[in-house]
Amino acid sequence: MKGNNKLKAGMAMVLVTGALLAACSNKETPAASEKPAESGKPATSQPSPSAAKRGEITASIYDRGNIPAEEGTPIKNRWTDWLNKNGPTDVNFISVPRNESEKKLNVLLASGGAPDIMFEYSAPFKNQLYSQKQLMPLDDAINKYSTEYKKLLEKYPALKKLGMKDDGKLYGLGYVAPLDTNHVLYVRNDWLKKLNLSVPQTTEELYQVIKAFSAQDPDGNGKKDTYGINLSFVGGQIVSAMFGYSEFGVNGGNYVHQWDRAAANYTFKKKLYDDGLVDKDFLTDNSGEKAQQDFVNGKLGMFGANGGANALGYKVYESFKKNNPDGEIIAIPLPKSEFGQFSPAINPPIFITTVVNAVAKDPEAIIKYIDFLAKDSTGKTLKYGIEGTHYQVGANGCPAPIQPISTKEVSWTADYRMMSSPMAEGDCARYISQLDPSKPLDKEFTAIIKSSDAAYLQAERPIYYDIDQNSMPSLPQDLLLVNTNGTKAINDIWSKAIVGGASYTIEKALADAKSAWEKAGGLKVDEFYQKWYADNKANVVHTKEWYTK
């Protein structure tokens, strides 16, 4: 990884060698999967006097439907057993559907059955819980009971700043990681070569390449059946990123609505649609699944890949090469627009994942469990499993999964380590360390990862939004409703503008969007954000800090 990122320079310093050695030398295999218990409570035997002193807490866990049936359920499997056997407290897990986590947690909170610890990625939802006074401030409990997490806060002050709210207290807990690529713009380099085209440097050049990919029969089948780029899901987000477009941004020292960037973004998308260079049905492809199939089937010249430089991207690339053995994919920097040159979404180096229920009864047990999760040895075990059973140390010094047992028993554990800091692993934390360069497919994908890092992890091409989303404030309840309704109205108008043809211009759509926002009461949201930023800019974590921390 390039750049002057001090987070990377500190990787080795975070590594707790003794803890990792202890994890590597632990030959004890977690208890085999048992029949899932309805309550999710850990299996217990007659407690000893010391065991009786252990606390008992509850914790949410995402249900993604990705655990093999023979391995159990999210609340009862070999790793929940391992956590209860090796951790400092008994944990009863509460399953939360990943795609409906906010809805489920709201129901549990309303009924009084919410977990003590809530693991949740959504920053707006956690803000909502804070504004509703449903979260516990954790400063006193951490000072009194923590050792591991306290050390992490001292080493990375930005982690503490990111977890604080406007009352000056700490509510959010999380992890520290190296900067890592997330969204990637894949481009058919073999098509560029066949059509004698260069990698586009500007959005104007990008349009010409997209047009050629759509009109000049790059697959050579004599049919007009190819498209230049996808506007659905990540593809559309990447195009927005080229214009530095997020709904609000820092301009002239103020945090304002970015109407000018919105207009430029949708002007470009509308031109692509009007000229027949994108799938006409992109608005219904919410997950990007159709676009992905078009790409792997050789019908799409550029594809916005979610997790394009990690395991998700590898699966897409593997499928692509099966169908297009002579196809060549490269990752390119986003072309420059009139607003500058930006990068798409990357994985933040600091992320808040965890909050505590305000009515939790045992803060000591909670913090001790948090400390256990934050230990390097715990994170390593939950990520790789048991040495000799699930992984072995490779030639590069990093854990190498033993297949197929590792995939079956460990590949689904990410949600149990949402308090684990990958920074401690150094370069081993990155997906590239798991690839075998002696295998042609791995070697090719390694090149994609390296070019993605060079393209997107650079301070001179910063991420397209200005403020770390975990630093954003919670809107008051009335403004939250205004923002939700107003944003939906605006998005509907922009979608209508893209597909509306000559009868609905971007100028008309911009006027309608501003009007809809004002009618919804959106100017009050604008005023709230402007005042908040003016009062708190010194305490906000800006994304430009990601490259210097």
pLDDT of residue 488: 97
User: How large a percentage of the chain has pLDDT more than 70?
Assistant: 90
382 in Cβ contact with 417 (< 8 Å) = yes
Tokens (6 digits) for 57 = 């807490």
CA distance 464 to 215: 30
What confidence tier does 42 reach under pLDDT thresholds 50, 70, 90?
very low
Q: Give me the helices (H) in 415-521, please.
A: 440-456, 477-499, 506-519
Average pLDDT over residues 395-422: 94
Residue 527, pLDDT > 50, answer yes
CA 420 to chain centre: 15
Residue 4, pLDDT > 90, answer no
Mean pLDDT of all residues in the chain?
90
Tokens (6 digits) for 275 = 């000229």
Residue 7, pLDDT > 70, answer no
239 in Cβ contact with 464 (< 8 Å) = no
Query: Which tens digits make up the pLDDT trace of 13-30?
Result: 333 333 333 333 333 333
Strands, E, within 9-88: which ranges? Answer: 55-63, 72-73, 76-77
Residue 447, pLDDT > 80, answer yes
CA distance 470 to 543: 11
Q: What's the burial of 324, exposed, middle or buried (CB within 10 Å: 0-12/13-18/19+)? A: middle
Pick the range with the lowest mean pLDDT from 230-244, 333-347, 470-484: 470-484
- Strand 300-305 relative to strand 184-188, pairing: antiparallel
pLDDT of residue 360: 98
DSSP-derived secondary structure for 323-366: H-TT--EEE-PPPBBTTB--B--EE-SEEEEEEEBTT-S-HHHH
Query: Which tens digits make up the pLDDT trace of 470-484?
Result: 899 888 889 999 999
Element (H, E) at 377: helix 376-384
What confidence tier does 549 reach under pLDDT thresholds 50, 70, 90?
low
Pick the range with the lowest mean pLDDT from 26-35, 45-54, 176-185, 433-442: 26-35
pLDDT of residue 1: 41
Residue 2, pLDDT > 70, answer no
What confidence tier does 43 reach under pLDDT thresholds 50, 70, 90?
very low
Nearest CA-CA partner of 59 in 15, 95, 84: 95
CA distance 132 to 134: 5
What confidence tier does 227 reach under pLDDT thresholds 50, 70, 90?
very high
What confidence tier does 31 reach under pLDDT thresholds 50, 70, 90?
very low
CA distance 181 to 452: 7
pLDDT of residue 470: 87
304 in Cβ contact with 427 (< 8 Å) = no
pTM here? 0.81
- Strand 350-356 relative to strand 117-119, pairing: antiparallel
Compute φ and ψ for 336, nearest 5 degrees. Answer: -80, 140
Residue 389, pLDDT > 70, answer yes
Q: Residue 213: count other Cβ atoms within 10 Å of its Cβ.
A: 25
Tell me how long the chain is: 549
pLDDT of residue 15: 32
Tokens (6 digits) for 384 = 């790789």
Nearest CA-CA partner of 124 in 508, 467, 430, 391: 467
Pick the range with the lowest mean pLDDT from 78-82, 195-199, 441-445, 467-471: 467-471
CA distance 189 to 207: 16
| 73 vs 545: which has the higher pLDDT | 73
Average pLDDT over residues 490-502: 97
CA distance 323 to 313: 16
108 in Cβ contact with 357 (< 8 Å) = no
Pick the range with the lowest mean pLDDT from 3-7, 50-54, 483-487: 3-7
Q: Give me the helices (H) in 3-74, please.
A: 6-9, 11-14, 17-25
CA distance 510 to 526: 17
Tokens (6 digits) for 270 = 């509308």
User: How large a percentage of the chain has pLDDT more than 90?
Assistant: 84
Q: Which residues contact 536 (CB under 8 A, 6 or more apart)?
A: 166, 473
**Peptide bond connecting 363 to the previous residue in cis, omega within 30 degrees of 0:** no
Element (H, E) at 261: helix 259-274
DSSP-derived secondary structure for 189-216: HHHHHHTT-PPP-BHHHHHHHHHHHHHS
Query: Which tens digits make up the pLDDT trace of 166-214?
Result: 899 999 999 999 999 999 999 999 999 999 999 999 999 999 999 999 9
Most confident of 7-11, 307-311, 334-338, 473-477: 334-338
Angle at 360 between CA 357 and CA 364, to 5 degrees: 115
Backbone CA torsion sign across 393, 395, 397, 402: negative
210 in Cβ contact with 265 (< 8 Å) = no
What confidence tier does 48 reach under pLDDT thresholds 50, 70, 90?
very low
Residue 494, pLDDT > 70, answer yes
